[in-house]
Chains A and B, each alone.
Chain A
Amino acid sequence: MANDCRNIEPLLAAYALDSLEGEERAQVDGHLPACPDCRARLAEYRAVADGLLMAVPGSAPPARLRQALVDRTGQSTDPKSAPAEMPARRFSHWSFAFGLGLAAMLLLNLVLLQQVIGLRQDQARLKQELGAGQIAQAIAAYPAAQSVLIEGKDAYGTLVYDPDRPVAAMYTWGLMPLPSGQSYQVWLRTTNGDRVSGGTFDSSGGKAFTLVVIRAPDPLEAYSGFGVTIEPAGGSPAPTGPNVLGGSF
């Protein structure tokens, strides 16, 4: 072998196995045309490589594989009429598994999103209740604080207020949750019989009582009484629905 062959021959096995890359592969490519010895050795290695294809124990494939080929080749009995490239790829098992995984993740995300939205709603409600509780406590702590009973057909409660202030805390029991599209609205009755809105609220579904902070345009001494009606969500300019609670200052 020539000197060149001493450098090339050790690379031929890897070359035959398609494992050689870059500069070394180029060296072999450049050397082979002029070297019959290395070409002969490479042919032997390639024969071994071809043999390695055969030297794998057989294994019976599942019957569905044959059926799949029957189906696919049945689309065209003449291979020449088939597209030059592979026909449209069958929806693979990997694709199916990937899609299934993706769908599961999406579903999980939706569930988690729903839980997050629910938790945020709970958080907002608790924050509102906490604020109302703090205001109610503050009102009750005023030296001039008074309370009146509230009565209705199915509900009752207590209203705590300071006549000098335009705010009151109303505790009610027995208010039923309203369907969506409706809300309770507080009305303050002026001495001349007009009704002024004191705000809207929803009952706390599932809880024994509802605490509502009423905010009036003027100190409560300007009013003679109050009531609660059922109105469209968001409230009405004047009472339109049934009166469910009421009381007098």
Chain B
Amino acid sequence: MSLPPKEDLARLAARIAEGDRGAFLALYDHTSSKVYGLALKMMRDPMAAEEVVQEAFIKLWTRAETFRPGKGSLLGWLLTITRHVALDHLRRSSRRPKLVEPPDAVTGWEPMLTDASSRTDEARWGSLYFAVQGLPDEQRAAITCAYYYGMSHSQISEFLDVPLGTVKTRLRLGMDKLRQVWLNAPEDHPGDPSESGDLGVKKDREV
């Protein structure tokens, strides 16, 4: 289901804050796919992902009045809640993440890549997704561990069995490449040849 405009989502948030259950379910219908996708990526387990999604939506239901449209989108807020809930679950379960992911199914973003002029949200998310997939494996692994699995520098160093300095370098180089794609900003750190990566689409490489 495609997402409604941001303004509509913001209005939904206001209605949810007033206790409108229909608005809450409408929001669920429009956003649950994104929320579940994120939870699944982080938890690597459908049942655990379901729990995370449910908890995230209930948090939104009970705290909708704290949402401030001026600070960001409702979807962004919901996904931030989802990430925090998932990280809490991961920390509680002490589950070791898996870095070998099954290839994503069809993302729906592939056709947008042919339209370089598209600046819709969906197109930008798709570009960023493929930019992440295009990162060298070691940079993508470091970013995945940090952001999706909530690991600190030292935990990543131990988990990937690389020195701390290498973790910092990989995070910085990877994030700079993503920053370039996301903001169309110039690349400040060309990086050394061993750490550089192609930003093109590499569907056959998954972390």
Pairwise interchain contact B172-A10, C-beta atoms closer than 8 A = yes
Docked CA distance A61–B76 (Å): 19
Determine the chain B residues whose CB is within 8 A of the CB of A82 once the complex forms.
61-62
Pairwise interchain contact A69-B76, C-beta atoms closer than 8 A = no
Nearest CB in chain A: distance from B138 CB, A: 15
Determine the chain A residues whose CB is within 8 A of the CB of B107 once the complex forms.
57
Interface SS of chain B: helix, strand, loop or mixed?
helix
A33 at the interface (CB under 8 A from B): no
Given contacts A17-B171, A45-B175, A50-B76, contact A58 B33 (CB under 8 A): yes
Pairwise interchain contact B128-A87, C-beta atoms closer than 8 A = no
Q: How many residues of B contact A (CB 8 A)?
A: 75
Pairwise interchain contact B168-A14, C-beta atoms closer than 8 A = yes
Pairwise interchain contact A87-B36, C-beta atoms closer than 8 A = no
Q: How many residues of A contact B (CB 8 A)?
A: 52
Pairwise interchain contact A79-B146, C-beta atoms closer than 8 A = no
Interface SS of chain A: helix, strand, loop or mixed?
helix
A30 at the interface (CB under 8 A from B): no
Nearest CB in chain A: distance from B73 CB, A: 9
Which of B93, B121, B172 is within 8 Å of A54, CB to CB?
A: B121
Given contacts A17-B171, A44-B185, A73-B61, contact A58 B36 (CB under 8 A): yes
CB-CB nearest 5 A-B residue pairs: A58-B33, A13-B175, A19-B146, A78-B19, A61-B36
Q: A51-B182, A60-B33 are in contact. List 20 more A-B contacts (CB 8 A).
A: A10-B168, A19-B151, A19-B153, A24-B153, A49-B147, A50-B76, A52-B128, A52-B143, A55-B125, A55-B128, A55-B132, A57-B105, A66-B28, A70-B25, A73-B24, A78-B19, A79-B19, A79-B64, A90-B51, A94-B51
